[in-house]
């Protein structure tokens, strides 16, 4: 007979008590490199427009000042946002947290995972990084994506999660 007993709120596990694993430090360098490329991509049209349009000096200065604020934000942001990301492997699930302003914690039970894959872009490979994607039933895209993992760690996690998911299916 199926039973679903009630659990008291004070008996629920607390996500603050877990040991969050941080992303690889190289991921911060990669994000800053990618943001620097974006900054330069925005600077080129600004330089072209200000040179060809013959803007008044004040207008051109304001345009470049806006660009500097944008550039500073993009260079500082990885140092603010990436420490807020992390994951935890528990006995029956994996937790992933992210967000500075809008924070979220995602829990994926191992018995719901159907597929796990790792992927990496050319930039990721240059920094020895990979992305771990977890797929559950009913989804067409990854239900959980963890960027910024060391490539070896991502592969170890993939194998571990597949083993846990297979064990939970066999024990169901």
Give pLDDT, residue 172.
Answer: 46
Phi, psi values for residue 22, rounded to 5°? -80, 160
| Measured distance CA(150)–CA(98) in Å, rounded | 18
pLDDT score of 165: 85
**pLDDT at res. 139:** 64
The pTM for the full model equals 0.82
Given a contact cutoff of 8 angstroms between Cβ atoms, the answer to whether 96 and 20 are in contact is no
Domain count across the chain = 2
Residue 142: per-residue pLDDT: 58
Q: Say whether both 56 and 129 belong to one domain.
A: no
Mean pLDDT, 10 residues at a time, the chain of 172 residues: 80 78 96 96 91 88 94 96 95 93 92 92 97 84 87 96 75 48
The CATH number of the domain where 114 resides is what? 2.30.29.30
pLDDT confidence of residue 168: 54
Range of the domain at 67: 26-81
Residue 145 has phi, psi (to 5 degrees) of -130, 120
């Amino acid at each position: 007979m199926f039973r679903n007993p009630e659990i008291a709120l004070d008996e629920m596990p607390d996500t603050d008590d877990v040991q969050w694993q941080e992303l690889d430090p190289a991921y911060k360098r990669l994000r800053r490199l990618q943001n620097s490329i974006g900054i330069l991509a925005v600077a080129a049209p600004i330089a072209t427009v200000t040179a060809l349009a013959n803007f008044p000096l004040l207008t051109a200065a304001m345009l470049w000042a806006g660009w500097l604020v944008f550039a500073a934000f993009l260079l500082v942001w990885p140092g603010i946002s990436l420490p807020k990301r992390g994951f935890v492997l528990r006995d029956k699930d994996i937790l992933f947290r992210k967000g500075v302003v809008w924070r979220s914690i995602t829990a994926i039970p191992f018995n719901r995972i159907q597929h796990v894959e790792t992927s990496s872009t050319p930039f990721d490979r240059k920094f020895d990084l990979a992305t771990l994607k977890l797929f559950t039933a009913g989804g067409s895209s990854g239900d959980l994506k963890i960027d910024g993992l060391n490539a070896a760690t991502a592969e170890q996690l993939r194998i571990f999660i597949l083993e846990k998911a297979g064990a939970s299916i066999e024990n169901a």
